[in-house]
């Protein structure tokens, strides 16, 4: 075999080796690509539940009748969780919403604790104020869409008011559309529904509850809720021409569980 023939043989062997190497590499690469394609990006995320509190949320008050708590991107998917508060006047005009203090959040001592709580404030404008007050609606949303939370808990603080003229308890009356409440029965009574609102007990001393005391508190829980309302009205708080007492309660902090898809 001359030199030219030897070169031709070597070139043939080289081409065959190259072809086999390419085929072998391709055979290994196909399953890898298929495996990658079969694994969606969402597999890296998982359903999870967050336990949240308004103590860790940002709070913005737009005015006496609108405010909002915001938890920024709690699940890592770019969606904010919000709890929106919207207040409207209820009943007779002689009991008005206090524009300076209503829906203000503060950390002063109320109900025996100094924790961030939302102030609900009413002004007595006249003697004929039975049933006047406000309704506050609370709405949860995730990324702007209504969402349901579980195990909601919060405290309504400082329910009192001097004994109403009907003799059926204190002037301040509170009810909620969702949940049940527990309280000190020596000081409070009622089931928290519109026909039997929480109020100062007829057996309690006819005095205002001290801010350092929890005697006027109702601890509210709701198993599952996306929105609920709280009615705060007054029963005959003004009993004389010069008697114009303001009425005030505080609500919060709110804690709850909310489920979503946690991103990596």
- Highest-scoring range by mean pLDDT, 34-43, 156-165, 174-183, 242-251: 174-183
Q: Which two tokens stand for residue 99?
A: 């524009």
pLDDT of residue 242: 74
Please, are residues 111 and 250 in contact by the beta-carbon 8 Å criterion?
yes
SS3 assignment, position 44: helix
Q: For the full predicted model, state whether its pTM sits above 0.75.
A: yes
Rounded to whole angstroms, the maximal C-alpha distance in the chain is: 130
CB neighbours of 30 closer than 8 A, spacing ≥ 6?
none
- Detail the DSSP E strand segments found in 92-190: 95-97, 105-106, 117-124, 132-142, 145-146, 149-157, 172-176, 180-183, 188-189
Pick from 259, 260, 262, 256: nearest CA to 53: 256
Phi-psi region of 111 (alpha: psi -120 to 50; beta: other; left: phi over 0): left
How sure is the predictor about 149, in pLDDT bands with cuts at 50, 70 and 90?
Answer: very high
Q: Which two tokens stand for residue 3?
A: 């030199």
Please, are residues 55 and 115 in contact by the beta-carbon 8 Å criterion?
yes
What are the residue boundaries of the structural domains of the chain, listed by start? 3-39, 46-262
**Sign of torsion over alpha carbons 198, 204, 205, 210:** negative
Q: How many CB atoms lie within 10 A of CB 204?
A: 21
CA distance linking residue 237 with residue 246, whole number of Å:
9
Give the CATH number of domain 46-262; options: 1.10.3470, 2.60.120, 2.60.40, 3.40.50: 2.60.120
CA distance linking residue 18 with residue 236, whole number of Å:
98
pLDDT-wise least confident of 16-30, 166-180, 208-222, 236-250: 16-30
Name the CA radius of gyration of the chain, rounded. 32
pLDDT of residue 21: 47
Please, are residues 131 and 195 in contact by the beta-carbon 8 Å criterion?
no
Pick from 172, 175, 146: nearest CA to 159: 172
Pick from 187, 203, 191, 87: nearest CA to 135: 87
CA distance linking residue 152 with residue 191, whole number of Å:
18
pLDDT of residue 31 exceeding 50, the answer is: no
- Can you tell me the mean pLDDT for 151-155? 98
Q: Which two tokens stand for residue 94?
A: 């002689």
CA distance linking residue 90 with residue 87, whole number of Å:
9
How sure is the predictor about 24, in pLDDT bands with cuts at 50, 70 and 90?
Answer: very low
User: How far does the chain reach from its first CA to its final CA, in angstroms?
Assistant: 67
């Amino acid at each position: 075999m001359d030199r030219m023939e030897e070169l031709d043989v070597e070139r043939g062997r080289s081409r065959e080796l190259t072809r086999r190497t390419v085929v072998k590499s391709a055979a290994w690469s196909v399953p890898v690509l298929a495996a990658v394609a079969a694994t969606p990006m969402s597999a890296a995320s998982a359903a999870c539940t967050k336990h949240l509190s308004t103590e860790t949320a940002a709070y913005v008050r737009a005015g006496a009748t609108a405010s909002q708590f915001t938890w920024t991107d709690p699940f890592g998917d770019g969606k904010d969780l919000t709890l929106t508060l919207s207040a409207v006047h209820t009943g007779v005009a002689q009991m008005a919403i206090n524009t300076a203090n209503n829906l203000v959040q503060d950390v002063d001592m109320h109900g025996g604790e100094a924790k961030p709580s939302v102030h609900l404030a009413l002004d007595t404008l006249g003697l004929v104020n039975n049933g006047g007050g406000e309704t506050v609606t609370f709405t949860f949303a995730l990324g702007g869409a209504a969402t349901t939370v579980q195990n909601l808990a919060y405290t309504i603080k400082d329910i009192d008011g001097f004994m109403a003229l009907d003799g059926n308890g204190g002037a301040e009356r509170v009810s909620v559309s969702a949940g049940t409440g527990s309280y000190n029965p020596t000081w409070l009574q009622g089931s928290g529904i519109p026909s039997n609102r929480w109020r100062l007990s007829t057996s309690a001393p006819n005095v205002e509850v001290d801010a350092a005391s929890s005697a006027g508190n109702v601890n509210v829980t709701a198993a599952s809720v996306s929105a609920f309302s709280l009615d705060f009205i007054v029963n005959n708080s003004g009993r004389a021409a010069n008697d114009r007492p303001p009425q005030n309660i505080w609500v919060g902090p709110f804690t709850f569980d909310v489920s979503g898809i946690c991103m990596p």
